[in-house]
Structure 1
Amino acid sequence: MKKTIISLSGIAVISTALLATNLLEVRAATVGNTSSGANVAFQPKKTPTNPVSPGDGKTPITPTTPGVPNTSTPVASDDGLTLDYVPTLNFGTHYVDASSPHTWSAWAANDGSGKAIPQFMQVTDNRGTATGPTGWSVSLTQTAQFKGTKAGDLTNAVLTFNTDKTNNVVSTSTSKASSTVNTATNPLTPGTAVNIFQADAGTGTGTNLLSFGAADGSSLVTDPESLDASTNTTGKVDPNITLSVPAGSAKVDTYTTTLNWNLYSAPGNA
């Protein structure tokens, strides 16, 4: 008789549990639904990006060129395209040589901590165009021949930018500038623009640097003749930017010229 009672009690307990489950399912039935939204907006960054190291494309630096003040100012568009930095050049002080031509290298830049780095330029594209990157370009013009304060022109002197390197475009972006314009030797003709740096359509977003020479600085050299003959200045020079002066052209004077860097919102506008 005890076995029968236990068996019936077990059935009663199971039935109660099933009933409770059915009641819970009825209570969880959907009554209705509604929806809400989430929003985020972006706008172009209109201020220039501070210069970063050519070595890694991300470490902030304060570049200078020994012996000369940095006279350039950044260029910024209203839609987020900026020319952040261009080099100021110093070719040193040398003795007059009326019988032989000479080619001197530009002094290397300084990263602000005392480390020599290659001369470079920097462009940032934060336009965020809905249809994708449209590209950009930078042209360089030597406005006139090097001119002395008393002696007139440095006749037939040639300023050359050599960008014939495979590792001279630096960017942390996945769509860095990749134009073949960058693999060229560019002797400047005063008054004539050359396309010095370019991002084709679909490339060039974020911050991109064009290093004149190997970006890691391995192409910099110690060349006392290119520094300062009168004071035995020591330091590094960048052999990828040179000034060639014919025999007899230089007189005792200081010669200067102006370099104009123009930023365009599309490739190939030099």
Structure 2
Amino acid sequence: MKKFGSLFLATAILAGITLAPVTTFAADGGNYDSNGVITFAPNTDITDPVDPVDPTNPVTPVDPTDPTGPKPGTAGPLSIDYASSLDFGTQKITSKDEIYQAKPQKYLDKDGVEKTGPNFVQVTDNRGTEKGWTLQMKQNTQFQTVDAEELTGAEITFKNGNVVTASASGKPTGEATIVADPSGALKDVMAAADGQGAGTYLLDWGTDATTAATSIELSVPGSTTKYAKKYSTTFTWVLSDTPGN
């Protein structure tokens, strides 16, 4: 009986092993999916000016009216990063109608080398919406001396305006010619419609140092009284989140 019982148990165990289910594995190890994610937020940092000829490179502009340098741009995410100050030089008094040219923009490139290029205004949209914007400008006063003597009839014309960017978003529309109004009326400069203008954009006056030298003009009538003094004016650049047409 002992032998018979042991034989029966051994047979049962063997039968259990033989009848157990067999698991099959894929020859290549199978597939497994995982995820990747990144989230962007509006950027409120100040954006540095870039090269008006090669906007992929940052630059340090030279302000011809302020030896301490230009003031920083406005804080983002929708910002005016820079606008050139204009220097029409020292001119002889004359009784003829005259047109004077603004000097090109001087700046130091990323290696500290001084260069010249077009005067420009720069806007950055880091809101992350691509909802468009509008840039305008006004001349706050007529050219005048510290004693409030006006350069009557003087008029500034910005010519050869062209939009420059390294951004892939749709290009804003830039005004090819702008005649400033010394009485302070706003003038359109550059406008991005809905679906345009995400990134950094410059409106250059001229395409290089040569054309820049003839792209911003100050016309002064010969009949205007001119004192042997310095005349100056100021401009205000106005950026709104209103999409251009």
- Shorter-chain TM-score: what band? 0.7 to 0.9
Q: Give 1:240's aligned residue.
A: 215
Question: Take 1:66 and 1:145, find their aligned partners in 2: how far apart are those partners?
Answer: 19
For the pair 1:265 / 2:241, whether they are aligned, the reply is yes
Cα-to-partner distance string for 1:194-225 (whole Å, 9 max, x where unaligned) = 011111221111111111111x33414xxxxx
Equivalence for 1:174: 168
- Tell me, in whole angstroms, the C-alpha distance in 2 between the residues paired with 1:153 and 1:137: 31
Classify the secondary structure of the residue corresponding to 1:110.
strand
Residue 193 of structure 1 deviates from its aligned partner by 0.6
2:141 equivalent among 139, 144, 162: 144
Counterpart code for 2:219: S
Task: Verify the 8 A CA contact 2:180 2:187 in the aligned structure 1.
Answer: no
- Aligned pairs (5 A) from 1:1-270: 23=22, 26-28=23-25, 39-66=37-64, 68-69=66-67, 70-77=69-76, 80-97=77-94, 99-112=95-108, 113-129=113-129, 133-150=130-147, 152-164=149-161, 168-179=162-173, 181-214=174-207, 216-220=208-212, 238-247=213-222, 248-268=224-244
Cα deviation per residue 1:40-82 (whole Å; 9 max; x = unaligned)?
32211101211111112111110114454445441124xx111
2-structure distance, mates of 1:189, 1:150 = 18
Identity, % of aligned positions = 35
Give 5+ residue unaligned stretches, structure 2.
Answer: 1-20, 27-31
- Distance in 2, matches of 1:122 and 1:255, equals 26
Query: Take 2:105 and 2:170, find their aligned partners in 1: how far apart are those partners?
Result: 23
8 Å Cα contact 2:139/2:181 also seen in 1: yes
Equivalenced residues, count = 215
Distance 1:64 1:219, change over 3 A: same
Distance 1:143 1:67, change over 3 A: closer
TM-score (norm 1): 0.71
Normalised by the size of structure 2, how large is the TM-score? 0.78
CA distance in 1, matches of 2:43, 2:172: 23
Asked whether the 8 Å contact 2:65–2:85 carries over to 1, the reply is no
Structure 1 distance, partners of 2:215, 2:205, is 6
